[in-house]
Amino acid sequence: MNPEAMSGARYRFGPFGGRYVPETLTAALEELERAYDEAQADPSFQRDLNALLADFVGRPTPLYRARRLEVEADGPAVYLKREDLNHTGAHKINNTLGQALLARRMGKRRIIAETGAGQHGVATACACALFDLECVVYMGEEDVDRQALNVYRMELLGAEVRPVSSGTRTLKDATSEAIRDWVTNVDGTHYIIGSVVGPDPFPRMVRDFQSVIGREARAQVIALEGRLPAAVFACVGGGSNAMGVFHAFVPDAEVELVGIEAAGEGLGGGRHSASLAAGVPGVLHGALSYLLQDSDGQVAPAHSISAGLDYPGVGPELSWLKDTGRARFVSATDAEALDAFHRLSRIEGIIPALESAHALAHLLRAGQMYRDRGPLLVCLSGRGDKDVAHVAEVEGRGILLGRPSKG
Amino acid sequence: MMEAAADAGADVIELGIPFSDPLADGPTIQRSSFMAIQKGTTVDTVLDALRTFRERRDTPTVLFTYLNPVLRRGLGEFCREAAEAGADGLLLTDLPVGCDSGMEEQVKSAGLDWIRLLAPTTSRERVPLVAQGGSGFLYYISRTGVTGARTELRSELVAEVAALREAVTMPIAVGFGISTPEQARMVALAADGVVVGSALIAQLEREGVAGAAAFLGALRQGMDEIDH
């Protein structure tokens, strides 16, 4: 290894990314990088993964033209990439199956993961059940409360869910705790990180596993419309569905890429998760990227109604897409996301995840600006079943499912 | 506490700048970092404490922290201020050797010793890269895992440190999980220095400065009984 190895461009997106980790993990990251290189060069790896994506996950996912949503948005043709129809209910499984296959190649029998909304935890638990791997999922106590259904799903799938009570008790702290576990048990354990964050090679590896979203969608839009979409919309927390759907379109300069961050209670008040809009570059969880922090470099607590977007950092490649101007980033508030959650449910018969509802909120707000510019592609990254109980509670419909206050 | 540590026989003091997300640290330092931030500790207040200490004692002092508080200030700017305040070295938990040559250069050009860490998992090819070109001392991490007391040290530890001698000319200090005079004594048989963090903080929390100083004194005595 040459002295510049980890400083090199291979490990970064412009200045962002890198491997800012405790020394104990450097060997594990080198090992992971080697294993991933070998897997990519091995046709049988991609063949195994593709077979699972087809038969187990249900890919390719449909591209659905949402005609009533078009009218509601007063916009052009709108296509929803239906990642919500994946097995386990979100795009997360594209990545966990890829990484579980990789863990098996590396001979690692124990898997750890962090989760916010629980979707990544469920997708990890599912992959571990399939491959007979031990699975431990770290989840912030606040999210354990918000996403009780997913906690039980993980347990049904054989995973152990460890509530994290440190710090803000959300995704950030679950990630820190997962990294501490990895530092301690590094020999036999693989860390399946759930987003395009963390030290290299995670951001590029997770992006590669998720890029199937954009590859399929690009071909599907072209087949239906005979042209590329005018713009692609995706919600951004850590950014895995966004990088997944954007990646195939990055070379298509005429396609606008728009990421929608969680504005929470509004960008002015400080209770939000809009790292790209309001953060400054810093190092958290092993990578240099935009980060919500105070003037002394302490990480600021994030907020969003959706646990999956409730993270003060963001993937380094998205930071680079922002700085180069290739993508632009806007935000939607909790209230706007809730409104979109209800509207899609009522007019299209699809209950979206609260995360994905942020992208839909932007569509409803900005759709008419694209009327003369061609079709829009929205990544519907997950389904909203997991959010139903939380939304009912937020809206005063009672705490328990099956006990509506009216009707 | 720093003066008490110096008087109790500490050869080097590690002075921490707390970070909100200390992912290499166990529960004790997580809690102390959280409390310190809650009580208003900042980069500036830590540097002020160092200046005050420097007026009274000359015990070498290493600042230890995570990258982000330092990057927020500006790494070059921070290193200059730290050197002016009397710091001798800097230990950044999440800046492994080779990770960012630009950052390494800024630490060195400020005249601070950049304290490098080696772990039992560090690959054999990587050892010379870490060992060469450093200054001050080399910090060997006693085991995989986060900081914090353990009842037992790994039996391979002494042999590992002895093997490191082949590749390293700098003094070698060993840390992570050392919390009793017996453990300190055992480690000191092989290493030049013993780093104690969480155990000292736990003592400080329980018994205040006097109790922590007495604890350090006992560690010192255990090590001094070795006939070098």
Cβ pair A283:B100 closer than 8 A = no
Q: Which amino acid is at A129?
A: A
Beta bridge partners of A63: A81
Query: Cα(first)–Cα(last) distance of chain B, in Å?
Result: 29
Chain A nearest C-alpha distance from B98 (Å)? 5
Q: Provide the sign of the torsion angle of the four alpha carbons A300, A142, A277, A253, taken in this order.
A: positive
Cβ pair B100:A27 closer than 8 A = no
Cβ pair B23:A282 closer than 8 A = no
Beta bridge partners of A280: A291
Number of other residues whose CB lies within 10 A of the CB of residue A177: 23
What amino acid positions of A are annotated as catalytic residues?
Answer: 92, 114, 381
Cβ pair A4:B34 closer than 8 A = no
- Pairing assessment for the beta strands A376-380 and A231-236 based on DSSP bridges: parallel
Task: From the candidates B11, B25, B44, B156, give the one annotated as an active-site residue.
Answer: B25
Cβ pair A299:B73 closer than 8 A = no
Cα–Cα dist B17/A401, whole Å = 46
Question: Of the candidates A26, A27, A283, which has its C-beta nearest B71's C-beta?
Answer: A283
Cis peptide upstream of residue A201 (ω within 30 degrees of 0)? yes
Cα–Cα dist A321/B111, whole Å = 36
Which residues does chain A have within 8 Å of residue B117's beta carbon, measured at their own beta carbons?
A: 22-23
Starting from the edge strand earliest in sequence, which strands make up the sheet with A78-82, in order? Answer: A63-65, A78-82, A376-380, A231-236, A256-264, A327-333
Question: Of the candidates A1, A21, A180, which has its C-beta nearest B125's C-beta?
Answer: A1
Cβ pair B144:A167 closer than 8 A = no
DSSP 8-state assignment for residue A298: P
- Name every residue in A having a CB less than 8 A away from some CB of B: 1, 3-7, 18-28, 30, 166-167, 172-173, 176, 179-180, 183-187, 280-286, 291, 293, 295-299
Q: What angle do CA A115, A34, A93 make, to 5 degrees?
A: 30
Cβ pair B119:A284 closer than 8 A = no
Tokens of residue A302, six digits: 């994030």
3-state secondary structure of A281: strand
Kindly identify which residue of chain A lies nearest to residue B25, measuring between CA atoms.
A180
Asked if A292 and A20 count as a contact pair (C-beta separation under 8 A), the reply is no
Q: What is the pLDDT of residues A47-83, one digit of tens each?
A: 999 999 999 999 999 999 999 999 999 999 999 999 9
- Name every residue in B having a CB less than 8 A away from some CB of A: 19-24, 26, 30, 34, 37, 42-43, 66-73, 93-102, 117-123, 125-126, 129-130, 141, 144-146
Chain B nearest C-alpha distance from A176 (Å)? 5
Which residues does chain B have within 8 Å of residue A172's beta carbon, measured at their own beta carbons?
A: 21
Chain B nearest C-alpha distance from A276 (Å)? 16
Kindly identify which residue of chain A lies nearest to residue B139, measuring between CA atoms.
A23
Contacts of residue B132, defined as CB under 8 A and 6 or more positions apart, other chains included, come to none
Burial (CB < 10 A; 0-12, 13-18, 19+), residue A404, is exposed
User: Which of B19, B21, B30 to mutate against chain A (most A CBs within 10 Å)?
Assistant: B21
The full DSSP string for A54-70 is: IIII-PSPPEEE-HHHH
**DSSP H or E run through B159:** helix B157-164
Cα–Cα dist A132/A83, whole Å = 25
Cα–Cα dist A36/A29, whole Å = 10
Question: Of the candidates B26, B66, B144, which has its C-beta nearest A186's C-beta?
Answer: B144
Asked if B105 and B133 count as a contact pair (C-beta separation under 8 A), the reply is no
pLDDT score recorded for residue A148: 84
- Pairing assessment for the beta strands A287-291 and A160-164 based on DSSP bridges: unpaired
Q: What angle do CA B205, B208, B211 make, to 5 degrees?
A: 110
Say whether B182 is catalytic. no
pLDDT score recorded for residue B104: 87
Tokens of residue B115, six digits: 């304290």
What region does A18 belong to: left with phi over 0, alpha with psi -120 to 50, or beta? left
Cα–Cα dist B68/A300, whole Å = 12
Kindly identify which residue of chain A lies nearest to residue B145, measuring between CA atoms.
A184
Chain B nearest C-alpha distance from A282 (Å)? 6
Asked if B62 and B91 count as a contact pair (C-beta separation under 8 A), the reply is yes
Quick check: pTM over 0.80?
Answer: yes
Residues of chain A with pLDDT under 70: 1-7, 399-407
Question: Domain B2-224 belongs to what topology?
Answer: TIM Barrel (3.20.20)
Cβ pair B123:A176 closer than 8 A = no
Which residues does chain A have within 8 Å of residue B141's beta carbon, measured at their own beta carbons?
A: 23-24
Cα–Cα dist A203/A20, whole Å = 13
Q: Which amino acid is at A220?
A: Q
Nearest to A151 by CA among A122, A178, A124: A122
Asked if A167 and A173 count as a contact pair (C-beta separation under 8 A), the reply is yes
Tokens of residue B150, six digits: 């353990």
Q: Which amino acid is at A249?
A: F
Which residues does chain A have within 8 Å of residue B26's beta carbon, measured at their own beta carbons?
A: 180
Kindly identify which residue of chain B lies nearest to residue A175, measuring between CA atoms.
B23
Asked if A80 and A360 count as a contact pair (C-beta separation under 8 A), the reply is no
Which residues does chain A have within 8 Å of residue B66's beta carbon, measured at their own beta carbons?
A: 283
The full DSSP string for A97-132 is: HHHHHHHHHHT--EEEEEESSSHHHHHHHHHHHHHT
Nearest to A250 by CA among A294, A301, A207: A207
pLDDT score recorded for residue A5: 52
The interface pTM score, or ipTM, of the predicted complex is 0.95
Question: Of the candidates A6, A173, A187, which has its C-beta nearest B99's C-beta?
Answer: A6
Asked if A379 and A362 count as a contact pair (C-beta separation under 8 A), the reply is no
Nearest to A329 by CA among A252, A242, A244, A253: A242
pLDDT of chain B along its 228 residues, tens only? 899 999 999 999 999 999 999 999 999 999 999 999 999 999 999 999 999 999 999 999 999 999 999 999 999 999 999 999 999 999 999 999 999 989 988 988 999 999 999 999 998 889 888 988 778 999 999 989 999 877 788 889 989 999 998 888 899 999 999 999 999 999 998 999 999 999 999 999 999 999 999 999 999 998 888 755
